[in-house]
Amino acid sequence: MKPLPSFRKAVWLNEPRLQQVMAVITRGGGEVRVAGGAVRNALLGVPIADVDLATTMLPTDVMRVCKAAGFGVHPTGFDHGTVTVVNGGIPFEVTTLRRDVETDGRRAMVAYTSEWAEDAMRRDFTMNAMYCDAAGKIYDFTNGYGDLLRNRVRFVGDAKMRIKEDYLRILRFFRFHARFGKGGPDKIGLAACAKLKSGLKKISAERIRQEMFKIVVAPRAVPTLKIMAASGVLRKIIPYTDDWRLIGRLPDDAVLRLYCLAKKPDDLKQDLRLSNAEAQRIDDLGTGPDLSPKLKMSEQRTMLYHLGGQAWTDSVELGWASGRASKRDKKWRALLDLPKHWPIPKLPINGQDLLEAGIASGPYMGEVLRSLEDWWVASDFVPTREELLERLKHDA
């Protein structure tokens, strides 16, 4: 087995604000270590999103000593032992070591412990169950490092039991496989996910959304989605198309990819609790025109003007991915980049101008304004405000 490296000299670990928080907890009598994702990513040499800390100190004490040290302190997940400590603008989630005593497949009742190994046992995958102390020493109770080196997402303990404690772990299994896995997923884990997939119905749409948004943009999204489909897991989430080629050709944008994955994109709004802006993108994708580099420049501008930047970008990406053109195709690239070179102009007159020209507000005013806009657009956005006002006088 490869010996565990040390992070004694690692830049991320020696970040002063992190070291300060760890020092304050240590001085207060707690043991504290970096836990989970940060250790995993550091071992892989990939960027670290946020640094989570685990400690033997109880949450109330974490709050007390950190407040006294002048850090910002927020009881963000106090019931399960998490306090967010902010030092110099960086938030650290500090969670007291715990073991899960009772679970209902969604939430766990927790009991605090001072045993690191116990805390490791309640974590989902071996690669997520490692710790690193302030001096850079790594603690690995579950052979997470070995699994990480083999790109293997493996449940801590008995896969079926762990899934029954929290069915979301089914999706987390695929999410981490899509991000860190190579080759096929762990057979035991996969079989357990397939067998227990019905339990996903217990999981809230918000939590499912979080995982799905990450799965579809992970580096190995398509092969992983195929495995999710073959194992019957995916159909527990959404009815899906199997247009894998198209999905694989899309940029790594979750809304675009989900739109193409879903058999009924409209249902995504409810099923994955899309925001209003995301729902709007789904609508626009459904009604958008077919865009292609064959369009004349004036047609392109007109369409961009009417669609707006986001819907334009989405429609171009969809059109590009649907066809055969390479990802390096210069004409498609130029089409996609049009909003960068041609900022959408604003009609240089408005209702106020019409009022001043003696047109009463109401439906008629709307009509006049629209016909001026049509003329302006059809004239390739060239007419100036003066020319529009002139035309208005003429027509009114």
Site residues (CB under 5 A) for Mg ion? 37
Q: Which stretch binds ligand ATP (CB under 6 A): 53-61, 161-169, 236-244, 356-364?
A: 161-169
- Exactly one of 119, 140, 166, 271 binds ligand ATP (CB under 6 A); that residue is 166
Residue 132 contacts ligand ATP per CB under 6 A: no
Q: Which stretch binds ligand ATP (CB under 6 A): 14-22, 53-61, 66-74, 124-132?
A: 124-132
Task: In angstroms, give the least distance from the CB of 54 to Mg ion.
Answer: 13
Residue 37 contacts ligand ATP per CB under 6 A: yes
Q: Which two tokens stand for residue 74?
A: 């927020």
The pattern of x and - marking residues 172 through 211 that bind ligand ATP according to CB under 6 A reads: x---------------------------------------
Residue 21 contacts ligand ATP per CB under 6 A: no
Beta carbon nearer to ligand ATP, 197 or 281: 197
Give the three-state DSSP class for 172. helix
Beta strands at 52-55 and 90-96: parallel, antiparallel or unpaired: parallel
- CB count in 10 Å sphere of residue 112: 16
Q: Which two tokens stand for residue 78?
A: 């106090």
Q: Give the CA angle between residues 202, 186, 189 to the nearest 5°.
A: 25
Task: In angstroms, give the least distance from the CB of 204 to ligand ATP.
Answer: 12
Q: Which of 193, 70, 78 is nearest to 124 (CA)?
A: 193
Residue 147 contacts ligand ATP per CB under 6 A: no
Residue 392 contacts ligand ATP per CB under 6 A: no
Write out the DSSP string of 237-272: H--B---HHHHHHS-S-HHHHHHHHBSSHHHHHHHT
Task: In angstroms, give the least distance from the CB of 224 to ligand ATP.
Answer: 15
- Spatial strand order of the sheet with 32-35 comes to 72-77, 82-87, 90-96, 52-55, 32-35, 130-133, 138-140
How many Å apart are CA 38 and CA 142, to the nearest integer? 17
The phi and psi torsions of 78 (rounded to 5 degrees) equal -55, -40
Residue 91 contacts ligand ATP per CB under 6 A: no
- Exactly one of 7, 30, 36, 96 binds ligand ATP (CB under 6 A); that residue is 36
- Exactly one of 32, 65, 168, 255 binds ligand ATP (CB under 6 A); that residue is 168
Q: Which stretch binds ligand ATP (CB under 6 A): 60-68, 72-80, 167-175, 362-370?
A: 167-175
Residue with the shortest CB distance to Mg ion:
37
The answer to whether 95 and 58 are in contact (CB under 8 A) is: no
Beta carbon nearer to ligand ATP, 121 or 365: 121
| Window 41-70: residues binding ligand ATP (CB under 6 A) | 49, 52
Q: From the list ligand ATP, Mg ion, none, which binds 281 (C-beta under 5 to 8 Å, kind-based)?
A: none
Q: From the list ligand ATP, Mg ion, none, which binds 11 (C-beta under 5 to 8 Å, kind-based)?
A: none
Task: In angstroms, give the least distance from the CB of 175 to ligand ATP.
Answer: 8
How many Å apart are CA 208 and CA 171, to the nearest integer? 8
How many Å apart are CA 357 and CA 392, to the nearest integer? 8
Distances (CA, A) of 161 to 110, 148, 281: 17, 22, 39
* Stretch (H or E) spanning 227: helix 221-230
Which residue ranges make up the site for ligand ATP (CB under 6 A)? 36-37, 49, 52, 123-124, 128-129, 166, 168-169, 172
